[in-house]
Amino acid sequence: MAKWKWYVYILECLDGSYYTGRTWNFDIRGEQHYNKLGSKYTKEHGVKRLAYLEEFENFEEASLREKQIKGWSRAKKQKLMSGEWGRWI
């Protein structure tokens, strides 16, 4: 049985805001966001680009990381996306 990978991602929206999400298949989920089918937030704000992507071995790790990032300030998210801190903080 194949083991799924999980991903936490940050999208930059057309208005400059950020959306953080989690999925097991970013290709499909990313396309949904770009086509305004992914979430209410990205439907309203549009998607400019994928700004950040992390891979995880299991759902629990990805879920904890998503929650952590969602609690961060905009400045802290920008430092993560720039690679200034590396993968883990």
In a domain, 89, yes or no: no
What pLDDT is attached to residue 86? 56
What pLDDT is attached to residue 70? 97
In a domain, 87, yes or no: no
Distance of CA 62 to the CA centre of its chain: 10
In a domain, 27, yes or no: yes
In a domain, 48, yes or no: yes
Total number of domains in the chain = 1
In a domain, 88, yes or no: no
For 58, counting Cβ atoms within 10 Å of its Cβ (0-12 exposed, 13-18 middle, 19+ buried), the class is exposed
3 pLDDT band (50/70/90 cuts)? confident
In a domain, 1, yes or no: no
Residue-range definition of the domain harbouring residue 40? 6-82
In a domain, 68, yes or no: yes
38 pLDDT band (50/70/90 cuts)? confident
87 pLDDT band (50/70/90 cuts)? low
CATH of the domain at 21: 3.40.1440.10
In a domain, 66, yes or no: yes
Rounded Cα distance between 4 and 54, Å, is: 14
89, pLDDT greater than 50: no
Of the two residues 12 and 87, the one the predictor is more confident about is 12
